[in-house]
Amino acid sequence: MKNVMSNKTVIALYVLPALFLVLFLIYIPMILTGYYGLMKWDGVGEMKFIGLDNYIKLVQDKLFWESTWHSILLGLFSVLSLIGYLIVSLVLASKIKGANIFRKIYIIPMLLSSVAIAQLWIKIFDPMNGLINSFLTSIGVENVPLWLADPEIALYAIFIPIVWQYAGFYIIIIYAALVNVPEELIEAARIDGANAFQIAYKIKVPLISGVLKVLVILAIVGSLKYFDLIYVMTGGGPGHATEVMASYMYKEAFGKYNFGYGSAIGFGLLVISMVATWTIQKLMKTKEDN
Amino acid sequence: MSKKKALSIITLFVLIIGLVLSGCSSSNESNGGKKSGDGKIHLKFMHDWPQGSSSAYFNLVKEIIKDYEAENKDVVIDVEVLNPDQYRDKIKVLAASNELPDVGLTWSNGFAEPYAKGGQFAPLDDIIKKDFQDQFVPGTVESYSFDGKSYALPMEMNITYVFYNKEIFKKYNLEEPKTFADLKKIGETLSKNGIIPATVGSKDGWPASMWFMYLADRIGGPTILTDVIQGKVKMTDPDIVKAAEEIQNLVDSGFFVKGNTAFSNDDAKGYFLNEQAAMFLTATWELPNFTTSPDTSQEFKDKVGYFKFPIVEGGKGTDSNSYVGGPGLGAFVAEKSQHKDQAKDFAAYLVKEWGKRSVESAGILPATKVNTEGLDVHPMYIDVLNDINNATNVTTWFDTQATPNVSELHHDLITALYGKQVTPEEFAKQHDNALAEEAAEK
């Protein structure tokens, strides 16, 4: 086996197929997207080269920056909710009764398709017949919020199902990391007189910080390119109040047939995601060094 | 393992990948129409009437396809069914990769234009002349015509009415309104009594836009929105701004269901179907739901009535026989189909049979003329068909006439208008900007 793995051609044999696929399905389309951004193209007819016009328009486009801000907000919320997931996971990982059942309960939303979740939450948010407002009305609240219909709160309302949707995913990962924390360390800390909170904060969390960092990046990048629930539930509305970068890109490319401008937005999204990932990695590294 | 062997395996991989990639490109060229092992011609047909939500349409199409296959033993129709939103998206994606089905359905005007001009749809003037002389309702084929050629066979013709719940109206002693003031008064009475006067799905934009289009028609005259599209009138025309203002007045007075900016058309329809809302402005494609469809209870169907959109006092549109409406879907044939003649033959058969059977068997108004005499259908159909025969004008939906770019903007702005996120002036101004930008490009 050792012999085989040191043979360069064999290594190439294992690496190349995947490399080809990634190249053809991801990197080349990525470059093409940037290239289409230089075109005026309705997606069907002839392409026309217009230089950097789309990118200049993009930088000046108020709507694009608004939707970028919404995406960033979603990223912040997702990262904040990681703290909640961490607490839940800590509780689940400590040996309490029923932890097993709760673990399963948390994972279930992940098994539902996005469209099903969207339909479910549309019904929950319905201003008149919905679960929340029926409850509010029954306890005597008169001016019930309109949730998805109110431009002021629609964005935050839609964050709830998005965060809820991925809760199980994050909890399972954190839980798995916590279970791998060596029992001896916890034992030792306990003998030294640490209480449960200290054990969690001083021992468990630092030990899984690698996993947490990955999750932060996942949460932020996932939020920046987030699309599905927003598309199904509000379509970016009312009046762009819940527009995010991906939904804006979709509207331009597939709604208005501006494939050129849509590609420019897509490329902008890519650049922003890369900058965000890079920044986060830098930030977290300095923390570690200190 | 020897170097040579590894190398040959790598070569093999490259070849396989090459094969896969070339496989993709060759299927691009075939456009789905292929002769498979059974030696029959397979025509791919895509429509957007799923069994679940449009059972009447679905069954009628299925029936016609069965008959066609029985008459043409060497042809097999492969059907793909999607719901309308997915269908819209998929058609765009398929066209972008040259993979349109041999026969499919298209909306008129702005939707069809890029496909027609981009050489994706085949011109159908030959079969229109041969098989459909004087058969179509005037104005329908034109909605699919660009640069003098027609690219689809219209199948549907819809006009819009305000449908209302007769029982609720009776309970509060209300009558069908003759004027817009009457309509507003009805709204006041109903909301005072805790009934939602009208339901509308303004998240989608287009259902809510019908109210706006009718108000523009009644205030500014029947041709005003068409004139805007053609560049003869500006959207900032005081009459159109007035129409937008009236929409916001209605919103302010609680005329529309609360939270409608988060409702799709189906969400909104739910409020009418479960009798929480008294009125619902929609097109005649809903007629089956209000008359024959087994999906709604007979009890409810008996309560549904309709009235024409009332006249606005002092407005230029003085004729309530002027409708907002238009052709819905038409059948297109892909220019790049491998069996274009067979596909045209099937499309013609489909549309012809559709025209013969649709009213009686599925309750759908076809774009081909229907003689109401001796027709065995629900009385509401006879009324509507007679209305169509007496219509003085049918203005095709503004968003249908507009280019996709303006249409999408219009939908967003309509949602914002209902949500009071724009003023009527801004609403008009933004339309004008987009229209001017497009005019400049041409």
Q: What is the pLDDT of residues A88-121, one digit of tens each?
A: 888 888 777 877 888 888 888 888 888 899 999 9
Domains B34-156+328-370 and B159-325+396-441 alike in fold = yes
- List of residues 6+ apart from A154 with CB closer than 8 A: A147, A148, A234, A237, A238, A241, A242, B262
Q: What pLDDT, on the 0 to 100 scale, is given for residue B12? A: 55
Q: What is the pLDDT of residues B402-433, one digit of tens each?
A: 888 898 899 999 999 999 999 999 999 999 99
Can you tell me the distance from the alpha carbon of B168 to that of B187, in angstroms, rounded to the nearest whole number?
A: 12
What does each C-alpha distance from B52 to A77, A114, B56, B158, B295 come to in angstroms?
A: 38, 20, 10, 21, 10
The pLDDT of residue A172 is above 60: yes
In chain A, beta strands by DSSP E: 39-40, 48-49
The residue-averaged pLDDT of B84-97 equals 85
Q: What is the pLDDT of residues B153-203, one digit of tens each?
A: 999 888 899 999 999 999 999 999 999 999 999 999 999 998 999 999 998
Strand, helix or coil at A251?
helix
* Cα atoms in the 13 Å half-sphere on the side-chain side of B11: 6
Angle at which helices B3-30 and A8-22 pack, to 10 degrees? 10
| Strand B103-107 to B41-47 pairing | parallel
The pLDDT of residue B292 is above 60: yes
Q: What pLDDT, on the 0 to 100 scale, is given for residue B55? A: 79
* Superfamily for domain range B159-325+396-441: Periplasmic binding protein-like II (3.40.190.10)
Q: What is the pLDDT of residues A191-231, one digit of tens each?
A: 988 888 888 888 888 888 889 989 999 999 899 989 989 99
In this prediction, residue B24 has a pLDDT band, given cuts at 50, 70 and 90, of very low
Helix (H) or strand (E) holding B326: strand B322-327
Q: What pLDDT, on the 0 to 100 scale, is given for residue B30? A: 39
Residue A1, domain member (yes or no): no
Can you tell me the distance from the alpha carbon of A129 to that of B274, in angstroms, rounded to the nearest whole number?
A: 11
Query: Does the model's ipTM exceed the 0.90 cut?
Result: no
A214 φ/ψ angles, rounded to the nearest 5 degrees: -60, -40
Query: Is A256's CB within 8 Å of B7's CB?
Result: no
Of A114, A112, A144, the closest CA to residue A129 belongs to A144
Q: Compare CB distances from B92 to A13, A43, A235 and report the shortest one's residue.
A: A43
What does each C-alpha distance from B374 to A139, B93, B368, B379 come to in angstroms?
A: 57, 45, 17, 12
Query: Is A257's CB within 8 Å of B21's CB?
Result: no
Residue A261, domain member (yes or no): yes
* Cα atoms in the 13 Å half-sphere on the side-chain side of B88: 15
Q: What is the pLDDT of residues B217-242, one digit of tens each?
A: 999 998 899 899 888 899 999 999 99
Look up the CATH architecture of domain B34-156+328-370: 3-Layer(aba) Sandwich (3.40)
The pLDDT of residue B33 is above 50: no
Query: Is B421's CB within 8 Å of A238's CB?
Result: yes
DSSP string, A65-96: HHHHHHHHHHHHHHHHHHHHHHHHHHHHHS--
Residue A264, domain member (yes or no): yes
Q: What pLDDT, on the 0 to 100 scale, is given for residue B332? A: 94
Helical ranges in B31-78 per DSSP H: 55-71
Least confident of A54-68, B106-120, B232-246: B106-120
The pLDDT of residue B1 is above 50: no
Q: What pLDDT, on the 0 to 100 scale, is given for residue B246? A: 94
Q: What pLDDT, on the 0 to 100 scale, is given for residue A74? A: 93
A224, two tokens = 């920046």
Q: What pLDDT, on the 0 to 100 scale, is given for residue B14? A: 57
Can you tell me the distance from the alpha carbon of B263 to that of B36, in angstroms, rounded to the nearest whole number?
A: 45
Q: How many C-beta neighbours within 10 Å does residue A160 have?
A: 15
Residue A6, domain member (yes or no): no
Q: What is the pLDDT of residues B269-286, one digit of tens each?
A: 999 999 999 999 999 888
Answer for the pair B164, B309: CB distance below 8 angstroms, yes or no: no
B263, two tokens = 């409702």
Domain count for chain A: 1
Q: Is B385 exposed, middle or buried (0-12, 13-18, 19+ CB in 10 A)?
A: buried
The residue-averaged pLDDT of B138-165 equals 88
Q: Compare CB distances from A235 to B7, B21, B203 and report the shortest one's residue.
A: B203
Q: What pLDDT, on the 0 to 100 scale, is given for residue B26? A: 39
In this prediction, residue B2 has a pLDDT band, given cuts at 50, 70 and 90, of low
DSSP string, B282-293: EEGGGHHHHTT-
Q: Is B310 exposed, middle or buried (0-12, 13-18, 19+ CB in 10 A)?
A: buried
Task: For residue A280, give the CATH number of its domain.
Answer: 1.10.3720.10
Of A256, A247, A221, A273, the closest CA to residue A118 belongs to A247
Q: What pLDDT, on the 0 to 100 scale, is given for residue B343? A: 93
Answer for the pair A45, B118: CB distance below 8 angstroms, yes or no: yes
Q: What angle do CA B51, B91, A50 make, to 5 degrees?
A: 160
Can you tell me the distance from the alpha carbon of B306 to that of B241, in angstroms, rounded to the nearest whole number?
A: 27
Percentage of chain A lying above the pLDDT 70 cut: 96
The residue-averaged pLDDT of A220-244 equals 89
A82 lies in which domain range? Answer: 51-289
Percentage of chain B lying above the pLDDT 70 cut: 91
* Cα atoms in the 13 Å half-sphere on the side-chain side of A258: 25
Q: What pLDDT, on the 0 to 100 scale, is given for residue B37? A: 63
- Amino acid sitting at position B205: G
Can you tell me the distance from the alpha carbon of B425 to that of B274, in angstroms, rounded to the nearest whole number?
A: 36
Judged by phi (left if over 0) then psi (alpha if -120 to 50, else beta), residue B235 lies in alpha
Helix (H) or strand (E) holding B277: strand B277-283
The residue-averaged pLDDT of B84-94 equals 85
pLDDT averaged over every residue in chain B: 86
Query: Is A251's CB within 8 Å of B262's CB?
Result: no
Cis peptide before B207 (omega within 30 of 0): no
Answer for the pair A284, A213: CB distance below 8 angstroms, yes or no: yes
Query: Is A148's CB within 8 Å of B259's CB?
Result: yes
Can you tell me the distance from the alpha carbon of B425 to that of B417, in angstroms, rounded to the nearest whole number?
A: 10
Q: Compare CB distances from A237 to B3, B13, B203 and report the shortest one's residue.
A: B203
Q: How many C-beta neighbours within 10 Å does residue A98 have?
A: 9
Query: Is B3's CB within 8 Å of A9's CB?
Result: yes
Residue of chain A whose alpha carbon sits nearest to that of B15: A17
The pLDDT of residue A149 is above 90: no
Contacts of B258 in chain A (CB under 8 A): 127-128, 146, 149
Can you tell me the distance from the alpha carbon of B72 to that of B43, in angstroms, rounded to the nearest whole number?
A: 12
The residue-averaged pLDDT of A10-24 equals 89
Q: What pLDDT, on the 0 to 100 scale, is given for residue B183? A: 94
Return the residue matching tokens 């060094």.
Answer: A289
**Per residue in B63-97, is it b (16+ CB within 10 Å) or e — as a string?**
ebbeebbeebeebebbeebbebeebbebbbebbbe
Q: Domain boundaries in chain B?
A: 34-156+328-370, 159-325+396-441
Contacts of A151 in chain B (CB under 8 A): 261, 419, 421
The pLDDT of residue A48 is above 80: yes
